Structure 1
Amino acid sequence: MILDDFLVFDDHGLYCRYGDFYLDPQQPVQHAVISHAHADHAVAGNRQVYCTPATARFMQLRYSKNAGGQFHLYKWHQSFTIGAVKIFFIPAGHILGSAQVVMHYEGITYLYTGDYKLQPDSTCEPIEWIKADVLITESTFGNPAIKHPDPVEEIKKLKEIESNILLGAYGLGKAQRLIKLISEYAPNKKVLVHHRIAPINTIYEQLGYAVGNYQMYNRKLMKTQDEYVYLVPPFTFDSYLRATGVKRIFASGWKNLQVNQQDTLFISDHADWDNILYTVEQVSPKQIWTLHGDGSHLKSYFDNQLTVKALN
């Protein structure tokens, strides 16, 4: 029997009382199962952390000694148990090391996707599918009006821009994907990276994922020709609000983060509406639980077919 209270939100985040653990808690807890290393899913200070090796590396880089008390690292499909719940990880395709969390309890399988994407990305493990009774899916872009364009066609836009480019992107995951895409599909552009992005690239490379061609930012280089793309994290991008002599572009799936109408770069690391529907088809759940977004469109779409409820 599916338990309606298998996962509930409390002051610390998404809690499983049957295993006494949290999924991607928002505040430090005793037992934290972490899907991936983005800061909105992986906070510092948890006492027992369960995650993939790549996620641990990124958390330790970001938080240093405060990353967590003890890390328990698991390869794909390697089972472990917390309380009475059997758990294993499968790839989510979001960033390197990002995991979906498969949970078995009393004959029922619950699948927590974390953040995930279906678009091809050679800088991380491709998403994997498994059948589950309950699909707990992010619905960041769970709207029929949102359909992500082909990232290759998006990146090719950069080839036609005849000026240096200040390219804003999240430093973990999105930046490495962009470097690889630019190297392959806009090779006339030379990528410079911010000093905060370089250590993340190093971890990717140490784990066997080449991110493409890049070099460290040097102010003098940007003054010599019009073929450079300076890749920076959001806080640096915002500080260059009045930068001259460069074209400012921010890579995101969100329209409100596009900084000008002439040069948009819609590249998202999340599932869009069609991708979510395809995920439901692959997982074949009896129920869908949504979070991280508006689940009302899914509820309407599956009316009288599947139970859909919002956790947040």
Structure 2
Amino acid sequence: MILNDFIAFNANGLYCRYADFYLDPQLPVGNAMISHAHADHAKSGNINVYTTAATYAFMQLRYGKGAAKASYLSAYNAPFTIGDVQITFIPAGHMPGSAQVLMEYKGVRYLYTGDYKLQPDDTCEPFEFVKADVLITESTFADPSTAHPNPLQEIKKLSDIKINILLGAYSLGKAQRLIRMINDHAPQKKILVHHRIMPINAIYQKLGFELGSHQIYSRKLMKTQEEWVYIVPPFTFDSYIRATGVKRLFASGWKNLQVNNQDTLYISDHADWNDIIKTIEQTGPQEIWTLHGDGTHLKNYFNNDIFVKLLS
């Protein structure tokens, strides 16, 4: 029997009272199950952290000793138990180490996706489908009007821009994906990287994800017009709002983050509407619980065929 209260929000975040742990808690807790290392999911100060080795490596880079008092690291598809709940991490395809969290309790399988994508990405483990009775899915782009374009066609747009490019991207996950894609699909471009992104790239290297040619930013190099692409985090990108002699682009699945009407770069690390529907079809849930967005469209789409509950 599906338990409607198997997970529920409280002041600290999404809580499983049947085994006393939180999923991506928003405040420090005793037991934290961390799906991936982005700061809106992986907070500092937890006592016990359960996650993948890659996720914890990124957390240690960001938080140092504050990453957790104790860490319990598990490989993908290697079940372990907390209390009476069996936990299995399943690749989520969002970034290295990102995991769906499969929770099995009294014969019922609850699958928390965390953030995920189905699009191919050579800089992380590919998404894996798994059967579940309850799918607890992010719904960032759960809107029938949202269809992300082929990322390879998007990155090839850079080849048509002959001046230097200032390319805004989130430092962890997106920047590394862009470096690899530019090397593979716009190889005439030369890549410069902001100094704060370089330590993250080093962890990718240790994890076995090759990014290809790039070097740390040099003002002298950027002053030459040699088709440089300078990848910077959002705070730096915003500070160059009046930059001249460069084309400013921001890589994102969000329309409001595109800064040029004539040049856009829609590259998302989240599932769009079609991929969410595909995930539901492959997972085969009896119920869908939605998070991190608006699940109303899914509720209307499935009507009475599948019960949809909006957790947030």
TM-score normalised over the length of structure 2: 0.99
Is 2:286 the counterpart of 1:300? no
| Residue 258 of structure 2: aligned partner | 258
| Residue 101 of structure 1: aligned partner | 101
Output the CA distance in 2 between the equivalents of 1:40 and 1:194: 22
Displacement of 1:293 after TM fit? 0.3
**Structure 2 counterpart of 1:274, one-letter code:** N
Is 2:29 the counterpart of 1:29? yes
Q: State the secondary structure of the residue aligned to 1:66.
A: helix
Aligned-CA RMSD value: 0.6
Deviations 1:88-135 (A, max 9, x none): 101000001100000000110000000000000010000001100000
| Residue 4 of structure 1: aligned partner | 4
Output the CA distance in 2 between the equivalents of 1:207 and 1:124: 10
| Residue 276 of structure 1: aligned partner | 276
| Residue 51 of structure 2: aligned partner | 51
Output the CA distance in 1 between the equivalents of 2:17 and 2:125: 30
Q: State the secondary structure of the residue aligned to 1:175.
A: helix
**Structure 2 counterpart of 1:123, one-letter code:** T
Name which of structure 1's ranges 116-125 and 79-88 shifts more when overlaid on structure 2.
79-88
1:1-312 aligned at under 5 Å gives the runs 1-312=1-312
**Identity score, percent:** 68
Output the CA distance in 2 between the equivalents of 1:308 and 1:213: 46
Deviations 1:119-163 (A, max 9, x none): 000100000011000000000000000000000000000001011
Q: State the secondary structure of the residue aligned to 2:18.
A: coil
**Structure 1 counterpart of 2:210, one-letter code:** A
**Structure 2 counterpart of 1:48, one-letter code:** N
Deviations 1:26-64 (A, max 9, x none): 001000000000000000010000000000000000111
Displacement of 1:226 after TM fit? 3.5
Output the CA distance in 2 between the equivalents of 1:208 and 1:162: 32
Number of aligned positions between the proteins: 312
Displacement of 1:182 after TM fit? 0.3
Output the CA distance in 2 between the equivalents of 1:237 and 1:219: 15
Gaps of 5+ in 2: none
Output the CA distance in 1 between the equivalents of 2:215 and 2:151: 23
**Structure 1 counterpart of 2:52, one-letter code:** T
Output the CA distance in 2 between the equivalents of 1:212 and 1:279: 31
Gaps of 5+ in 1: none
Superposition misfits of 4+ residues, deviation over 4 angstroms: none
Q: State the secondary structure of the residue aligned to 1:196.
A: coil
TM-score normalised over the length of structure 1: 0.99
**Structure 1 counterpart of 2:220, one-letter code:** K
Deviations 1:8-32 (A, max 9, x none): 0111100000010000000010000
